Amino acid sequence: MKKILVCEDEDVIRDFVVINLKRAGYDVVDVNCGEEALKAFEREHGDFDVALLDIMMPGIDGLQVCKKLREKSSTLGIIMLSAKTQEMDKVSGLMLGADDYITKPFSPSELTARVDAIYRRVCMSFNKEEKQAEIISGPFVLNLKSRTVTKSGKLIDLTQVEYQILEYFLNNQNTALDRLSILNHIWGDNYYGDDKIVDVNIRRIRMKIEDEPSNPQYIMTIWGFGYKWGTN
């Protein structure tokens, strides 16, 4: 069964989220603080597909929980809940390994659509089969069966979103890809957010694969358009 961890300190919002996710077929474990979220993750031996974390909470906040959960699992789907005024916190969450964020207030349809999208991505990491075993580009080898990427033989620690972005680039080498096409390919045509999430994820990937992230050799910016992968 689809299993999700919900961490939200406001009872009314948490109840709203839990009711709608259960209606959508999810097995929900809900807690009201970061400390309990980490305990629940350990208690369930990490057996969650998705985690929904409020950013602003007393004690251990959602950003800290996100960082700790990402350290424990690269395949867990993580979505941050944020207020409209928490723009920098959204970016921080993505940089710490979150896959997406939802801005309050949100509708039941937006909630379930965003959670379903992340859940499908998590399932892909276990179920996707490819005829071609790997894609090679310069020092990089992307293995389509294990869904891993190595650089000069060294494994790169990627989230599933980061892996999908790299796969998209390597399947379109030396082709300029606009932000909207990347957004639609990774997050789906019905994504409710904006294309800023693409830029943040590119920044995060560069920190992992580039020798000098501020002077990238592989993921190059096409100003006013998007990005291009090339190893020259």
Question: What pLDDT, in 10s, does the model give residues 193-210?
Answer: 777 899 999 999 999 999
pLDDT given for residue 91 in this prediction: 84
Q: Is the pLDDT of residue 86 over 90?
A: no
Give the residue extent of every domain in the chain.
2-127, 134-229
pLDDT given for residue 129 in this prediction: 46
Q: For 134-229, CATH number?
A: 1.10.10.10
Sheet holding 226-229, edge to edge: 177-178, 226-229, 219-222
Backbone φ/ψ region at 104: left (φ over 0), alpha (ψ -120 to 50), beta? beta
Q: Which has the minimum average pLDDT: 52-61, 187-196, 212-221?
A: 187-196
CA dihedral of 222, 232, 142, 125, whole degrees rounded to 10: 0
pLDDT given for residue 170 in this prediction: 94
pLDDT given for residue 127 in this prediction: 54
Arithmetic mean of pLDDT over the chain: 90
182 in Cβ contact with 175 (< 8 Å): no
Residues 125-154 have pLDDT tens digits of: 655 444 458 899 999 999 988 889 999 999
Residue range 46-52: mean pLDDT, rounded? 94
Query: Where residue 76 falls among pLDDT bands split at 50, 70, 90?
Result: very high
pLDDT given for residue 131 in this prediction: 47
Residue with the bigger pLDDT between 190 and 109: it is: 109
Q: Which class in CATH covers the domain with range 2-127?
A: alpha beta
Q: What is the 3-state secondary structure (H, E, C) of the chain?
A: CEEEEEECCCHHHHHHHHHHHHHCCEEEEEECCHHHHHHHHHHCCCCCCEEEEECCCCCCCHHHHHHHHHHHCCCCEEEEEECCCCHHHHHHHHHCCCCEEEECCCCHHHHHHHHHHHHHHHHHHHHCCCCCCEEEECCEEEECCCCEEEECCEEECCCHHHHHHHHHHHCCCCCCEEHHHHHHHHHCCCCCCCCHHHHHHHHHHHHHHCCCCCCCCCEEEECCCEEEECCC
pLDDT given for residue 126 in this prediction: 59
pLDDT given for residue 230 in this prediction: 85
pLDDT given for residue 215 in this prediction: 94
Residues 180-189 have pLDDT tens digits of: 999 988 888 7
